C-alpha cells in the first residue's frame, strides 16, 4: 500500500514520551496526549483512549519502555522494572491477546539483552528498538492482510463490518479495514456498511470517520439494521477484526459480532475474520476459555453524555462476545487465508 492512506496514527513515540491519540474524542477532536509513565499507558488502555488489539499491544510495549527507561543501577534492576511494568500493564484489559503477546515479547527480549551483558544504556535502547519493531511490523502485517482480504472481494461488492478494526486499532491500515484502503487506491469500488457498534460507537465514531476521510464509500447503520440490510441483498460479505482467536477458530470480538455472524449465515453471506497471527492464541483451546471483559454500566446508561436509562437499573455490559468457529468462513492473516478445519489449519500456520 502506498502512503496514500495517511490516516491518523494511534500512537507515536516521541523521544522521551508516547504521544497517544485520544480515541474517545474522535471524530470531533484530534488530540494527542503525552504519556510518560506506565500508569499513563495503563489508564489509556483501560479507558479506551487507545483500543483495538494490535494498538493495545503496541501501546503496552512502549509502556514497558516508559516504566524502565529511568532505572539507574544495573541490568538486573532494570529487568525487574521491565517485569514490574509488564505485570501492571497486563491488568489493563483481559480479552485482547495482543496485549499479553506484546508484553511477553518485551519481557523475553529484555531478559535476553540482560543475559547478553549489554550495558544498562544498551539494554534500554534495545528495548525501545523492540517496541518500535512491534509497531513497524504491525504496519506491514496489516498491509499483507489487506492484500489477502482484497483477493476475496470483487468490484461493486457490498461489505459489512462491525466495530473498528482500522488504522486506529492497529499501527496503520487496520485488519478488517485494510482491504478497503487498498481497493480505494486501486479503483476497486466497494460499498462498506459500518455498524455503529453500541455502546461505545467505535463503528460510528471511528470506522465511518476513517473510511470517510479516505474517500471510501461508507454507509453508517445502527447495529439492529444489519439483518435488514443483508435481507435487501446489499451485503455480499462481512469482514470483522478480532481480539483473540482460540485454537479451534472460535473468535472473540466486539459485542454484537456473534449476532452479525448468525445473520450472515442465515443469509448465506461469507463471514471473514481478519487478524495478525499475534491475535491467534493456540494456548486457548476454545472460545469458552477467553476472558470476556465487562465494562461499566455508564457506557450504556450515559453513553451519549446524557442519561438514557433509569438510575439504578440493572445493566449487563460485556465488551466482547464469542463467535463459534462454525460461523466463520475464513480467517485472513498476513500469511494468507485460513479455511476450516481451523483446529488443524491454525496450527499449520505456525508450522506446528
Which residues are marked as active site?
243
- The response to whether 93 counts as a known ligand-binding position is yes
Residue in the structure block whose three cell numbers are 523492540: 130
- The response to whether 52 counts as a known ligand-binding position is yes
Q: How many CB atoms lie within 10 A of CB 348?
A: 10
Residue in the structure block whose three cell numbers are 455480499: 236
Nearer CB in complex with ligand LNRAV4D5: 24/191:
24
CA distances 128 to 97, 108, 171, Å, are: 21, 14, 16
271-274: strand order across its sheet: 217-221, 191-195, 158-161, 237-240, 271-274, 330-333, 336-338
The three-class DSSP label of residue 46 is helix
Nearer CB in complex with ligand LNRAV4D5: 50/152:
50
Cβ-based neighbours of 226, under 8 Å, separated by 6 or more:
160, 162, 193, 195, 259, 260, 263
Please report how close the Cβ of residue 71 comes to ligand LNRAV4D5 at its closest, in angstroms. 30
- The response to whether 29 counts as a known ligand-binding position is no
- The response to whether 112 counts as a known ligand-binding position is no
Nearer CB in complex with ligand LNRAV4D5: 109/254:
254
Please report how close the Cβ of residue 274 comes to ligand LNRAV4D5 at its closest, in angstroms. 8
The three-class DSSP label of residue 240 is strand
- The response to whether 253 counts as a known ligand-binding position is yes
Residues that bind ligand LNRAV4D5 (CB under 6 A): 51-54, 163, 165, 169-170, 175, 202, 240-241, 243, 253-254, 319
Please report how close the Cβ of residue 43 comes to ligand LNRAV4D5 at its closest, in angstroms. 15
Nearer CB in complex with ligand LNRAV4D5: 134/319:
319
Rounded distance between C-alpha atoms, residue 102 and residue 104, angstroms: 5
Please report how close the Cβ of residue 246 comes to ligand LNRAV4D5 at its closest, in angstroms. 15
Amino acid at each position: 500500500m502506498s502512503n496514500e492512506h495517511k490516516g491518523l496514527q494511534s500512537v507515536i513515540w516521541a523521544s522521551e514520551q508516547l504521544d497517544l491519540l485520544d480515541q474517545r474524542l474522535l471524530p470531533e477532536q484530534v488530540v494527542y496526549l503525552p504519556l510518560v509513565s506506565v500508569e499513563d499507558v495503563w489508564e489509556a488502555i483501560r479507558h479506551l483512549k487507545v483500543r483495538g488489539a494490535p494498538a493495545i499491544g503496541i501501546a503496552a510495549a512502549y509502556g514497558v519502555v516508559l516504566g524502565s527507561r529511568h532505572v539507574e543501577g544495573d541490568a538486573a534492576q532494570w529487568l525487574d522494572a521491565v517485569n514490574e511494568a509488564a505485570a501492571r500493564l497486563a491488568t489493563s484489559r483481559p480479552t485482547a491477546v495482543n496485549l499479553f503477546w506484546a508484553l511477553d515479547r518485551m519481557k523475553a527480549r529484555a531478559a535476553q539483552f540482560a543475559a547478553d551483558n549489554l550495558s544498562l544504556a544498551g539494554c534500554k535502547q534495545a528495548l525501545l528498538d523492540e517496541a518500535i519493531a512491534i509497531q513497524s511490523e504491525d504496519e506491514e502485517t496489516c498491509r499483507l492482510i489487506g492484500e489477502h482480504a482484497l483477493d476475496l472481494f470483487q468490484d461493486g461488492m457490498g461489505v459489512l463490518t462491525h466495530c473498528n478494526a482500522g488504522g486506529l486499532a492497529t499501527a496503520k491500515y487496520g485488519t478488517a479495514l485494510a482491504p478497503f484502503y487498498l481497493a480505494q487506491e486501486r479503483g476497486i469500488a466497494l460499498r462498506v456498511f459500518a455498524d455503529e457498534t453500541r455502546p461505545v460507537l467505535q463503528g460510528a465514531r471511528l470506522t465511518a470517520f476513517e473510511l470517510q476521510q479516505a474517500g471510501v464509500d461508507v454507509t453508517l447503520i445502527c447495529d439492529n439494521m444489519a439483518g435488514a440490510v443483508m435481507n435487501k441483498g446489499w451485503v455480499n460479505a462481512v469482514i470483522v477484526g478480532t481480539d483473540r482467536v482460540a485454537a479451534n477458530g472460535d473468535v472473540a470480538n466486539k459485542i454484537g459480532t456473534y449476532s452479525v455472524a448468525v445473520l450472515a449465515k442465515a443469509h448465506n453471506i461469507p463471514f471473514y475474520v481478519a487478524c495478525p497471527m499475534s491475535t491467534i492464541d493456540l494456548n486457548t483451546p476454545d472460545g469458552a476459555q477467553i476472558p470476556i471483559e465487562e465494562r461499566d454500566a455508564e457506557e450504556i446508561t450515559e453513553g451519549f453524555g446524557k442519561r438514557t436509562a433509569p438510575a439504578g437499573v440493572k445493566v449487563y455490559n460485556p465488551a466482547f462476545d464469542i463467535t463459534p468457529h462454525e460461523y466463520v468462513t475464513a480467517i485472513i492473516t498476513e500469511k494468507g487465508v485460513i479455511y476450516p478445519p481451523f483446529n488443524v489449519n491454525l496450527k499449520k500456520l505456525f508450522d506446528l
